[in-house]
Amino acid sequence: MAQVRIHAFADEASPVMDEQIRAMERNQLQGLEIRGVDGINVSDLTLEKAKEVRKKLDDHGLVTFSIGSPIGKIDIVRDDFRAHMDKLRHTLEIADVLGASHIRMFSFYMPQNQDPSLFRGEVMDRLHEMAEAAKGSGIRLCHENEKGIYGDMAVRCREILDEVPELGGIFDPANFIQCGQDTLEAWEMLKDRIVYMHIKDAMPDGLVVPAGHGAGHVAEIVKSFLLQGGSCMTVEPHLAVFSGLNGLEREGEKSRLGRYTYSDSNAAFDAAVSALKEILSGI
CB 197 within 8 A of CB 234: yes
Query: What is the rounded average pLDDT for all residues in the chain?
Result: 94
Q: For residue 240, what pLDDT band results from cuts at 50, 70 and 90?
A: confident
Predicted local distance difference test score (pLDDT) of residue 243: 60
Residue 240's Cβ-count burial label (10 Å; 0-12, 13-18, 19+) is middle
Return phi, psi of residue 166, to 5°.
-65, -25
pLDDT digits (tens, 9 = 90+) for 140-152: 999 999 999 999 9
Q: Tell me: the pLDDT tens digits for 25-84?
A: 999 999 999 999 999 999 999 999 999 999 999 999 999 999 999 999 999 999 999 999
- Kind of pairing between the strands at 194-199 and 232-235: parallel
pLDDT value at 256 more than 80: no
CA distance 10 to 65: 12
pLDDT at 106 over 80: yes
Q: Where are the domains of the chain?
A: 5-238
Read off the pLDDT band of 242 (50, 70, 90): confident
Which string of DSSP letters, residue by residue, matches 177-244? Answer: HHTT--HHHHHHHHGGGEEEEEE-EE-TTS-EESTTSSSS-HHHHHHHHHHTT--EEEE----EE-TT
Long-range residue pairs from 40-49, CB within 8 A, at least 24 positions apart, any chain = 41/70, 42/67, 42/68, 42/69, 42/91, 42/94, 43/67, 43/69, 43/70, 43/71, 43/87, 43/90, 43/91, 43/94, 45/94, 47/93, 47/94, 47/97
Residue 225, phi then psi, degrees to nearest 5: -60, -45
Collapsed DSSP state (helix, strand, coil) of residue 73? coil
For the chain, helix (H) and strand (E) counts, in that order, are 10, 14
Question: Which CATH superfamily hosts domain 5-238?
Answer: Divalent-metal-dependent TIM barrel enzymes (3.20.20.150)
Given a cut of 60, whether residue 252 has pLDDT beyond it is no
pTM to 2 decimal places: 0.94
Backbone dihedral region for residue 19 (phi beyond 0: left; psi -120 to 50: alpha; all else: beta): alpha
pLDDT (0 to 100) of residue 258: 59
pLDDT higher than threshold 90 for residue 247? no
CA-to-CA separations, 141 to 40, 169, 186, in angstroms, rounded: 21, 9, 20
Write down the pLDDT at residue 15.
96
Return d(Cα 214, Cα 64) in angstroms, integer.
Answer: 28
Residue 248 has pLDDT above 70, yes or no: no
pLDDT tens digits along 182-239? 999 999 999 999 999 999 999 999 999 999 999 999 999 999 999 999 999 999 999 9
Helix (H, G, I), strand (E, B) or coil at 168: strand
